[in-house]
Structure formats: structure tokens, C-alpha cells
Amino acid sequence: MSAAQHESDEIAAIRQAVQALCEKFPGEYWRALDRERAYPTEFVEALTKAGFLAALIPEQYGGSGLSMGAAIAIMEEIQANGCNGAACHAQMYVMGTLLRHGSPEQKQKFLPSIARGELRLQAFGVTEPTSGTDTLNLRTTAVRDNDHYVVNGQKIWTSRVEHSDLMLLLARTTPREQAQKRTEGLSVFLVDMREARGRGLTIRPIRTMMNHATTEVFFDDLRVPAENLIGREGQGFHYILSGMNAERILIAAECIGDAKWFIGRASGYARERNVFGRPIGQNQGVQFPIARAYAQMRGAELMVHEAAGLYEAGRDCGAEANMAKLLAADASWAAADMCVQTHGGFGFAEEFDIERKFRETRLYQVAPISTNLILSYLAEHVLRLPRSY
């Protein structure tokens, strides 16, 4: 049996296992959480116990040691089965910064506990109210004070902080005007929020149109041990960039899963719903949007797999990861809109789950990076057009 065939069988088995797990968390589970804006603790614990959230942690640290191909299959299946992986997806990619750039001591201290589910590393403190995605202009500072850094500033849209033990934090350690290069002077820290809460760390939830457990976080003279600095001081921007490709690929896979869910629901309804004595799916006005959504999803899916293949091979995949996220987000949003239109009034009814998934998938036109910024990236770095910002 070839290695490719073996991997296909392995991924097929993973898909089946994820599907079986998701069946235990049907639509009514998610609807109840959505009404209360509550966190899916039981779902996250089940994923953790099954080893899915440790997919990309090497076996030497107690993880599953799976490929990126397996990881995207996990995230896609979660979404395709009506669940919401956004509640915990950061656990799969945030740890990459620690894995690639952390010291041996840091990796041994944290990764095994993360893999076992004893620690949750799900929070990523980067975005700020004044800078948004202009990361190089962030204002949160970390000043060295003997064996600690003192952190002051604010982050926003920092999701899952209230349900995470650790946070990956990007802060400025060198004033921008003193940095030798524009991309230097930022550093990455691993913040233990179990110790930080009430000691300089304040969390304020933000209620949003979807149940996303997002917050703004305030740092007031928070002391972080110097041993929690990841890598070299001042090189943090480069460290987080190396993890953003994985983030884009995994979230693109979620979008593909969403698109498949919407297409499946729309197709099933169009076959069964009879109006004027015939199934509505017999009408081209209903058929064509579903078929177009399917074609759009399949094209995006191919780009996701291309980006994942390049990532696994250790090759530069910045353009492909960004295109995968762009195309997949567009495909999921188009499929969501089509699904609502196919169902008519029932598309707005809570019990069908369509309006919930519609709200959830809309997020990916904006996060973790706006589709417009992806177009700017492609224009500048692939097409060599003048920088627009």
C-alpha cells in the first residue's frame, strides 16, 4: 500500500471519528448555547479527550503528531456536521509559535499539558483598538524589570480568553522609533492567565452577533516572568507570522465544512419541498444557485489542499494560504446566502440552524484577516503592484 493511500485511509478514519463525535452534539445543543452566549465546554472537552485538538503537537510531547491534511479534515468535519470549531480552533495553531520558537524547557513544560488537555492555550493577544490589523503599530508595551517584564496596554477581539489558561501575547519591547527595522521591536510572551487574573489582567466580554466568546483585555502593570519570553526579544512579529499560515489554512477548512453543510441542507430541502405540485429543486432558479455554490466550494477546497500540501512540505505557502482563506470564506458565505434563499422563511427560523450558521460563517469575511487585506497582499507580493497601505 502506498504512503498516499495509507494517509487517505487514515484521514477517512479521522473524518468518521469526528462525525461520530459531532453526532453527540446536535443542533439543539448549539441553539441552547447560542441563546445564552455560553461556551461549549462539553464539546471542547470531548474534542480534547479524543486527541483532535492536539493534532499538530508532535508525539514526543504527547500530541497526536498528525499532518496538516489530517488537521484540516478535523476542522472541516466539525463544521460540516453543524458544530462550531471556532470555540477551540486556536488550540491547534497558536501552539505552533511555542513549538517552533520556544526553548526546550518551555516546550517540555507546556506542550505535554496542552496535549493532555490539562492546559488550554486558546487565546491570541494581538489586535488592538487603535491599530486593528496594522500589527506593527500596536501600543501594548512590555518593559524589562529584572526577572520580569511589566506589561501595559489593551487588546481587543481576543477570543476564548475566559476559557483558556494560557495566552500568547504580542507586545512592544522596543519603542518603534528605536527599532532598527519596522518589523522589529515586538516580542511574544506566554501569559499564564491563572496567575494574571486580578493581578494586572482585566477581561471584559464583548457581546457579538454570533456566539464567539470574544473579549477585550486590559493590562495594568502585569508582571510576566522573563522566562516566558518566547524566542529572542524583538523578533516576535516574525514568530507570529510563521503561525498565521496554519491559521489561515485551518480556518479555510472550516469554511469549506460550512459550505458543505449549507449545500447539503439546501439540496435536501430542494428535493423534498413541494410547491405548485413539484419539488422546488426541479426549478432551475433553485437548482442553479445550489450548483454554483457547489462548484465554488470545490474550487476553494482544491486551494485549501494545495496550501496544506505546501505547508507540510515546509515550503513557502503565504500566497496559497491567503488565497485558500479568501476563496473558502467567499464560498461559505455564498453557500450560506443561497441556503437561506432556498429555504425562504424557514431559513430564518431558529430550529433549522441555518440562521445560526449563517451568522457564524459571516465572520470569516473579516477574521482572522479581512478579505480585502488578502487582496492587498496578493496585489503586492504576488502581482508586484505598488503597496497600497
3-state secondary structure 314-359: CCCCHHHHHHHHHHHHHHHHHHHHHHHHHHHHHHHCHHHCHHHHHH
**Cα dihedral 56, 61, 63, 69 in deg (nearest 10):** 30
* Stretch among 121-135, 217-231, 258-272 having the lowest mean pLDDT: 121-135
pLDDT over threshold 60, residue 6: no
Does residue 2 register a pLDDT over 60?
no
The mean pLDDT value of the chain amounts to 95
Q: Is the pLDDT reported for residue 362 higher than 80?
A: yes
What pTM value is reported for the model?
Answer: 0.94
Question: Is 160:213 a contact under the CB 8 Å cutoff?
Answer: yes
pLDDT digits (tens, 9 = 90+) for 197-213: 999 999 999 999 999 99
